[in-house]
Structure 1
Amino acid sequence: MNAAASLDTTDVVDAELLDAQDALAPALPDTDVDINDVLTDEAVEDLANSGRERTRGTYQERFKAFATWCATRGRTPGPPTTEQNLVSYISHLKRAGVDFGTIRLTIAAVVHMNARAGHANWPPTDKAKAIYADARHEQREAGRSPKSAPPLDMERRQQILEACPDDLPGLRDRVIAHLGYYCRGRRSDLAKFRIASLEEVSDSLLIVRKWTSKNDKTDEGREYEIDDPEAIHDILTWRAVLRVRGEADPLKPLLRRVDQWGNLGPISGKGWGMTPHAINEATKRMAQRADLDVKDTATSHGWRAGVPADLGRLGYTADDIKHITGDWRSTEQVEKYRKVGRRRAGLTTDQSRRAQAIKELQTLRAGTQPEAPGTEPEQADTLEREGQDDA
């Protein structure tokens, strides 16, 4: 087991994050505290539970790992967390070889948990970030970089579909594959789909609505049009099964746990039919069952990468893909997916005119003389701009 893994598998100290909120208790009549400067109990609770559930869970996991480290060394994790404890823990992670993405997330988690407990912008992070920057530089120098989930593109998706058994769990898995690919869904997005998310426009068109997502800044949500006959058939067949079993109330979750005998699992107290974690585990099982080339590294995030990887393979640029899908605000992540798609097809990722010119140099090896490039004004201007970019 590597050092990074061991940090997350040790017994965890269940640190109480809100112990330090005594100062936020309601003012008593016989004190000098102005009640207008005091939060109500309800406001304290809402602040403690604020933020996206997925983000809160991730931060809690990282803070608990930090709390465990503190407890084994006689330190107090807080809140309030001392600057010295944070810096010491970040140093520990760096020396243990933990990837720099996790180190960065840990710093953010500690600051976030302190803020939730009433200690905004605490502890100071300049020293911890300096150690993080060193870890990032050292890991990149050593050729290490954060690994993205391999895309579950059209080809791999088809392999998964063909390997699904002809039973109710297999049908549910097929629905996950269809929605994951065509809706570019994160595991949390897929878990939030409800029966009401589906609109059957015609026999050849199905609309799937995603009302909330990680990067959404408005209440409009997103709509995805699916015109794949196989996908439409499987999704509507699954919905029909839910209707027969009395589980098709519009607000009930679309995806449900199914045991080997075809029994639907109950809906959790939080409204999950399948939790995001369960969807991720189901995707991993699908990859193993289909014996994918990436079966040991596939995760549910691969569904989100599928379409941009396929579009990149077809020759679309990252900017094209961003505007075609409407699912990303910047091109940085899209470019990663595009490159994976190109390379998976055995194609170069640089599609610029400069790259084509370099490729033409291979003709010199064969002793042939390539035609000289034209000297039209537009072409000359392009070459001049590319030369300025290099400078």
Structure 2
Amino acid sequence: MSDRDLEVVDAELLDDHLPEVRKDRAPALSQPEDDPDAWLSDQAKEDVNAGIADGTRAGYKGDMDRFADWCAAVGRRPMPAASQTVTEYMSYLKRTPRPRTGRPYGPRSMDRIIASIRSAHRAAGHKPPDTMGARKVVVGYRAELANANDPAAEPRKASPADRTVLRAALAELDRTTLAGKRDAALMLLGHALASRGSELVPLDWPGNFTEQPDGGFKVRVYRKKRKIWQNVPVVLDPEPELCAVRAVRALVAALADEGHTEGALFLRMDRWGYLAPPMYRHGKPIGDPDGRMTIEAASDIVQRSIERTGLPGRWRSHSSRRGFVKSARQARVDIVRIGRHGGWKDNSTALIGYVDEDDAEGEHNPLAQIGQAAVQRDEEQQ
């Protein structure tokens, strides 16, 4: 998972899930306090660990590895780090191009790195360093980028794959093939559930699906951000080519022809269409042993499918979730109903962030609505 796809979560990570600071990187220091109650049982560590997303934990570990390497190179102590060390590190990241991208870290990634450093200190029993100076570096950096009209100042969001986009993408798929059926079902069900890739990929057939009298089904989805299960009704769509129910049933039937009748719904395939091919790295097997595809693979499918249309944008698995909001807004669905269908809280500021600037055009524009109301009042008074 790339750093730009991780979220800033200032979580309390446990010391056995963080990189050890090697002795050749910095002098070993004793714990600042000796509290006889400052320990956790193995069971408690497991319980805390279960509450931390895998991607967050992996991202924080990588951040601390790189921070420790930099400290070793400049002769500073990574833990417990001085506040000036963290500030200096942010200044270094702001000015230093990364080998992979040729650009420095963006402000959002730097916010996450600060959270990683603080979290690592708490996990190791140290008081987190004061990061006011480091955060001011990031605030100033973000302002510089904004004044220069640099896109890096803005969060990298997936483009919304609404019904118009999906219709164009599906027209480019060969839905007579197993891979085409899978890709169509993945995009349409992701839109219907307003799901993240991390919520879509774990779905099992028939385990997460319950047939409904209206011909549709309810899908039991685990909303990872809120840590809750939700039963989402998916109904038949009047446009068959955009119907998630029909697409899923077509995929299930095709999988049954291949002998796969239960378990992971979205399976990896090789270029020849073979299901769940074994994968190896350095001679060792990798990937889900049952053939379930990864979140990254789901994003690749969405990106590849929509890019065939020539439509500009940043297309990822999250495009389906954002696209659902856009489709629902275009259909004048109440924002509360949109949020409850997609698993947002009623007061979610994140949901408001999904409402694009172009949503304020045309009939949704507040000025246009004010004008229409004024005209209506004048007509009523006449």
Tell me the TM-score normalized by structure 2: 0.73
Give the superposition deviation at 1:240.
Answer: 2.9
Provide the residue aligned with 2:59 in structure 1. 58
Q: Note if contact 1:114-1:122 (Cα within 8 Å) is conserved in structure 2.
A: yes
Q: Note if contact 1:168-1:258 (Cα within 8 Å) is conserved in structure 2.
A: no
Q: Note if contact 1:198-1:208 (Cα within 8 Å) is conserved in structure 2.
A: yes
Give the superposition deviation at 1:256.
Answer: 0.8
Q: Note if contact 1:100-1:139 (Cα within 8 Å) is conserved in structure 2.
A: no
Counterparts of 1:1-391 in structure 2 under 5 Å?
17-18=19-20, 38-41=39-42, 43-44=44-45, 47=48, 51-78=52-79, 80-95=80-95, 98-119=105-126, 122-143=128-149, 144-165=153-174, 166-195=176-205, 196-202=207-213, 204-210=215-221, 212-218=222-228, 220-228=229-237, 229=240, 230-249=243-262, 252-265=263-276, 268-269=287-288, 273-294=292-313, 297-316=314-333, 318-319=335-336, 321-323=338-340, 325-340=342-357, 342=359, 347=362, 349-351=364-366, 355-356=370-371, 373=378
Provide Cα deviations, 1:295-346, integer angstroms capped at 9, x if missing partner. Answer: xx21121111012112223445645643564535445343343334536xx6
Give the superposition deviation at 1:209.
Answer: 1.4
In structure 2, how many angstroms separate the alpha carbons of the residues matched to 1:282 and 1:197?
A: 22
Provide Cα deviations, 1:68-96, integer angstroms capped at 9, x if missing partner. Answer: 44344344544x44433321111223345
Q: Which stretch has the larger CA shift, 150-159 or 85-94?
A: 85-94
Give the match's secondary structure for 2:210: strand
Gaps of 5+ in 1: 5-14, 25-31, 361-369, 377-391
- Over 3 Å counting, the alpha-carbon distance change for 1:140 and 1:355 in structure 2 is farther
Q: Note if contact 2:236-2:246 (Cα within 8 Å) is conserved in structure 1.
A: no
Name the larger-Rg structure: 1
In structure 1, how many angstroms separate the alpha carbons of the residues matched to 2:305 and 2:203?
A: 20
Provide Cα deviations, 1:209-228, integer angstroms capped at 9, x if missing partner. Answer: 10x2233254x434232322
2:267 counterpart letter in structure 1: R
Q: Note if contact 2:181-2:251 (Cα within 8 Å) is conserved in structure 1.
A: yes
Q: Note if contact 1:207-1:225 (Cα within 8 Å) is conserved in structure 2.
A: yes
Q: Note if contact 2:197-2:318 (Cα within 8 Å) is conserved in structure 1.
A: yes
Provide Cα deviations, 1:102-137, integer angstroms capped at 9, x if missing partner. Answer: 221221122223333344x51322222222222233
In structure 1, how many angstroms separate the alpha carbons of the residues matched to 2:29 and 2:44?
A: 14
- Over 3 Å counting, the alpha-carbon distance change for 1:342 and 1:41 in structure 2 is closer
Q: Note if contact 2:232-2:341 (Cα within 8 Å) is conserved in structure 1.
A: no
1:237 counterpart letter in structure 2: A
Tell me the TM-score normalized by structure 1: 0.71
Q: Note if contact 2:21-2:68 (Cα within 8 Å) is conserved in structure 1.
A: no
In structure 2, how many angstroms separate the alpha carbons of the residues matched to 1:129 and 1:231?
A: 45
Provide the residue aligned with 2:12 in structure 1. none
Give the match's secondary structure for 1:338: coil
2:139 counterpart letter in structure 1: A
Length, aligned pairs only: 335
Q: Note if contact 1:339-1:349 (Cα within 8 Å) is conserved in structure 2.
A: no
Provide Cα deviations, 1:7-47, integer angstroms capped at 9, x if missing partner. Answer: xxxxxxxx9624599989xxxxxxx996x764345655665
Query: What is the percent sequence identity of the aligned residues?
Result: 24
2:128 counterpart letter in structure 1: W
Q: Note if contact 1:318-1:331 (Cα within 8 Å) is conserved in structure 2.
A: no
In structure 2, how many angstroms separate the alpha carbons of the residues matched to 1:259 and 1:77?
A: 44
In structure 2, how many angstroms separate the alpha carbons of the residues matched to 1:17 and 1:289?
A: 41
Q: Note if contact 2:160-2:323 (Cα within 8 Å) is conserved in structure 1.
A: yes
In structure 2, how many angstroms separate the alpha carbons of the residues matched to 1:331 and 1:349?
A: 20
1:91 counterpart letter in structure 2: S
Q: With CA pairs under 8 Å and 6+ residues apart, which has the higher RCO, 1 or 2?
A: 2
